[in-house]
């Protein structure tokens, strides 16, 4: 267990976690879930972020030492140095772009070991090819900034999948020996289990009948997440299952304007629900989970769908294949392909035996490899290793 791993570690390891915001993304949720097992296992977490977010996980961190940095960027960076010195921080963890670049830069000269989580694949060609909001020159400048701050602070890296590691080695020229892969985990107690009563109760809350076939997508409305292909595929499912409903949970984003006309054509069969704090309950009420992303680091919601025995239809992406296997624990389809996506959804809707076995296999996979305890123990081990190497091997 995690606690036994750190029985011999005293006093507590003081870790400063720097993150852009405490918003509703997978990186933020993963950090929030890690803090509890870390704090019980020999770590004193201190959290700093650059801005408040109306939607997200701030309310879940009331029992932790959280600092919201204010003022211009220079003042925020000065405040980070002050916190690190005042609280005698022994290790720093950064996650997401602002935290990675400005957080690391703030701490130059303090000789603190830094672990940076790599949670996405932002420099893959697919992003430039398909996201109209990305400027090639700006992206190149951002990449150079990431490389420079990583080298200046001699950071170690945590990648959430092997695919993310390979992407970072290729695009950021990071020594692969300085990248450790630790998959994310989710807390099975927080998620709960799928039960007929839970399904019935939440369908009533959503105003959905027991026989309606419900497809759930949960992601911010960005081009990366590929919701437009799901909306284009859904009419084909409706031809065979006219009672179907598509629920899209997640905050608005750069792709929202393009999604609205597609959704309007489908009328009441599509519901945009915005940010939701009750996503596990919605998964328990749904019949299928769709992840039509164009690229991913590792969709954290994928792990939650596995845990809640929700049949998955997902884009056949390298990081996704690290987690699920086609026709064993999910149905994988080529990204951006409307017809295969529609056919996979129809297959899930019409073959209860196959999807039932797939859902059960998914739950077993989650229990074996992706629970929070397993992920937290590996992260604790990584923190200890990086700190020990920096201080010359002393624990």
Q: Are 218 and 197 spatial neighbours (Cβ–Cβ below 8 Å)?
A: no
What dotted CATH number matches 2-185+371-390? Answer: 3.40.50.2000
Average pLDDT over residues 111-139: 90
Mean pLDDT of the chain: 93
Cα separation of 33 and 14, whole Å? 18
Average pLDDT over residues 327-338: 96
The pLDDT value recorded for residue 10 is: 52
The pLDDT value recorded for residue 55 is: 83
Architecture of domain 190-369: 3-Layer(aba) Sandwich (3.40)
The pLDDT value recorded for residue 70 is: 93
pLDDT-derived band of residue 130, with 50, 70 and 90 as boundaries?
confident
Cα separation of 250 and 221, whole Å? 7
Average pLDDT over residues 339-353: 95
Query: Can you name the residues that pair with 283 across neighbouring β-strands?
Result: none
Fold agreement (2-185+371-390, 190-369): yes
pLDDT-derived band of residue 3, with 50, 70 and 90 as boundaries?
very low
Q: What are phi and psi of 25, to 5 degrees?
A: -80, 175
Burial (Cβ within 10 Å: 0-12, 13-18, ≥19) of residue 179 = buried
For residue 9, is pLDDT > 70?
no
Q: Are 269 and 214 spatial neighbours (Cβ–Cβ below 8 Å)?
A: no
Q: Which residue has the higher pLDDT, 5 or 242?
A: 242
Residue range 279-331, pLDDT digits in tens: 999 999 999 999 999 999 986 899 999 999 999 999 999 999 999 999 999 99
Residue range 180-205, pLDDT digits in tens: 999 999 999 999 999 999 999 999 99
Pair of tokens at residue 151: 């080298």
The pLDDT value recorded for residue 280 is: 96
Residue range 19-52, pLDDT digits in tens: 999 988 888 989 999 999 999 998 999 999 999 8
For residue 395, is pLDDT > 50?
no
Query: Can you name the residues that pair with 326 across neighbouring β-strands?
Result: 330
- Give domain limits for the chain: 2-185+371-390, 190-369
């Amino acid at each position: 267990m995690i606690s036994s791993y750190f029985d011999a570690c005293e006093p507590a390891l003081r870790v400063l976690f720097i993150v852009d915001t405490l918003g509703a993304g997978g990186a933020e949720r993963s950090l929030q879930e890690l803090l509890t097992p870390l704090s019980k296992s020999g770590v004193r977490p201190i959290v700093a972020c650059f801005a408040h977010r109306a939607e997200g996980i701030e309310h879940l961190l009331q029992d932790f030492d959280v600092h919201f940095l204010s003022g211009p960027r220079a003042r925020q960076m000065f405040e980070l140095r002050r916190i690190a010195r005042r609280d005698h921080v022994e290790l720093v963890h950064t996650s997401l772009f602002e935290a990675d670049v400005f957080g690391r830069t703030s701490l130059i000269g303090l000789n603190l070991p830094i672990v940076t989580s790599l949670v996405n694949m932002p420099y893959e060609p697919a992003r430039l090819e398909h996201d109209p909001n990305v400027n090639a020159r700006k992206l190149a400048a951002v990449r150079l900034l990431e490389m420079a701050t990583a080298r200046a602070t001699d950071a170690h890296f945590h990648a959430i999948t092997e695919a993310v590691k390979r992407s970072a080695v290729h695009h950021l020229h990071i020594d692969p020996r300085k990248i450790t892969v630790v998959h994310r985990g989710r807390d099975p107690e927080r998620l709960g289990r799928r039960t007929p009563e839970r399904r019935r109760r939440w369908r009533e809350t959503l105003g959905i009948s027991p026989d309606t076939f419900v497809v759930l997508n949960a992601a911010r409305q960005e081009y990366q997440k590929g919701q437009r292909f799901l909306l284009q595929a859904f009419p084909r499912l409706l031809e065979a299952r006219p009672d179907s409903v598509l629920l899209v949970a997640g905050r608005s984003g750069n792709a929202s304007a393009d999604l609205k006309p597609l959704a309007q054509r489908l009328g009441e069969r599509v519901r945009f629900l915005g940010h939701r704090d009750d996503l596990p309950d919605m998964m328990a009420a749904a019949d299928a989970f769709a992840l039509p992303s164009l690229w991913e680091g590792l969709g954290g919601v994928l792990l939650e769908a596995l845990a809640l025995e929700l049949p998955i239809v997902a884009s056949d992406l390298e990081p996704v294949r690290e987690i699920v296997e086609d026709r064993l624990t999910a149905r994988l389809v080529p990204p951006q392909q409307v017809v295969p996506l529609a056919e996979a959804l129809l297959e899930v809707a019409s073959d209860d035996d196959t999807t039932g076995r797939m859902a059960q296999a998914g739950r077993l996979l989650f229990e074996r490899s992706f629970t929070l305890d397993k992920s937290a123990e590996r992260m604790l081990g990584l923190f200890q290793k990086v700190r020990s190497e920096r201080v010359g091997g002393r624990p």
